Structure 1
Amino acid sequence: MARRPQQRFTEDDFESLEGRASKTEQKKAVQRMAALGEQLSELSLKQIQKLPVEERLIEALEDVRNITSGEARRRQFLRIGKLLRNEDESVILSYLTPQQGLKKTAQLHRWVDRMIAQGDPAIKEFMKSHNAAEHHPIRQHILRIHRDINKKLPEEDIAASKLKLFNYIQQVALISDN
């Protein structure tokens, strides 16, 4: 069988793929969102109704309180996770952070700064203390931040990249604490 000519990839080919999550990463994101949904369901009924989210999500969070079957609850939390994907992560996390406290939030900000400065050693240390953390997504966020800094992008873009990393770290911390 004849060999195909070797195709040369350009920088543009990789740029188009950047930021696209693999199937595994998408599944893990759904699981993280479902876990956040579980935490949201633990809020009081008043707090749930005050959430600035779609009505369907509020109804799903209220419905899960009446479900007793384990499998039905699991499916409902997956549904809640799916609905959460349409919402702003920062808003959802702001409602859950009072459970963490200001001290924990400041500690997470220090972790973000440390991981950006030190790289893999800090990531590994963070992963030891937070069992829900995964190396690849954290590393991707950090590489994106470094790329933005090297390209001398505006400070707003760098801050947006750091916020994405912080949101991921905060999700992991919320899930790991339980």
Structure 2
Amino acid sequence: MARRPNRYTEEDFESLEGRASKTEQKKAVQRMAALGEELAKLNPKQIKNLPVEERLIEALLDAQTITSHEARRRQFQRVGKLLRNEDETMILSYLTPQQGAKKTAQLQRWTERMIAQGDPVIKEFMKAHNAAEHHPIRQHILRIQRDIAKNVSEEELTASKLKLFNYIQQVALLSDN
């Protein structure tokens, strides 16, 4: 068996940076399915008023009528798949009135503390929210810190922080149940 003559270079790893692993992708799909379950708890009028694709609205309304456990599971997988095409921030903003302004402000403080203090605060957050996972939070924070070090534009930095905040909101919604 021939050995690879060249070792991996920094470029090889940089091309993979930012890509989610298969496990992270699967967990993201599970989070989207769980968000779909939260959306399905809304009343039909609220679902019809969602600013999303018609297929997603129909899938959510269908999910409310399905009683079989396995059929519901498959339906929410489908809903999760449809949710991937939607704006995550908009969906979360539609669900956050259930959390309230006080909870949203608290989550914003968590986000700022995580960026400033790192791992100790992440561990504290994970104890308070059972749906939280260390790796995705850590990756978001590392991305934000790298953006700060590179002096990227304010829009890019805000977008990175928004991604972390969206993840924190998802975790909070899923942990409350």
| TM-score range for the pair, normalised by the shorter chain length | over 0.9
DSSP-derived class of the 1:104 partner? helix
* Aligned residue number for residue 159 of structure 1: 158
Q: Which aligned segments of 4 or more residues in structure 1 are displaced greater than 2 angstroms?
A: 1-6, 12-15
> What does 1:129-144 correspond to in 2, within 5 Å?
129-144=128-143
> What does 1:20-99 correspond to in 2, within 5 Å?
20-99=19-98
1:115-156 per-position Cα deviation (integer Å, ceiling 9, x unaligned):
001100000000000000000000000000000000000111
**2:100 is aligned with 1:101:** yes
CA distance in 2, matches of 1:96, 1:135: 24
Q: Which amino acid aligns with 1:100?
A: Q
CA distance in 2, matches of 1:6, 1:95: 51
CA distance in 2, matches of 1:57, 1:118: 39
1:146-172 per-position Cα deviation (integer Å, ceiling 9, x unaligned):
000000001110000000000000000
Structure 2 unmatched runs, 5+: none
Q: CA deviation at 1:6?
A: 4.7
DSSP-derived class of the 2:86 partner? coil
RMSD of Structure 2 on Structure 1 (CA)? 1.0
Q: CA deviation at 1:50?
A: 0.5
Indicate how the Cα distance of structure 1 residues 151 and 68 shifts in structure 2: closer, same or farther if over 3 A, else same.
same
Q: Which amino acid aligns with 1:7?
A: R
* Aligned residue number for residue 9 of structure 2: 9
Q: Which amino acid aligns with 1:137?
A: P
The share of aligned pairs that are identical, in percent, is 79
Q: Which amino acid aligns with 1:157?
A: E
Q: Which amino acid aligns with 1:29?
A: A
CA distance in 1, matches of 2:56, 2:151: 39
1:91-134 per-position Cα deviation (integer Å, ceiling 9, x unaligned):
10011000000000000000000000110000000000000000
**TM-score between both structures, scaled by the size of structure 2:** 0.97
Structure 1 unmatched runs, 5+: none
Indicate how the Cα distance of structure 1 residues 135 and 57 shifts in structure 2: closer, same or farther if over 3 A, else same.
same
Q: Which amino acid aligns with 1:67?
A: I
- Which shows bigger deviation, 13-22 or 144-153? 13-22
Q: Which amino acid aligns with 2:21?
A: S
Q: CA deviation at 1:2?
A: 5.7
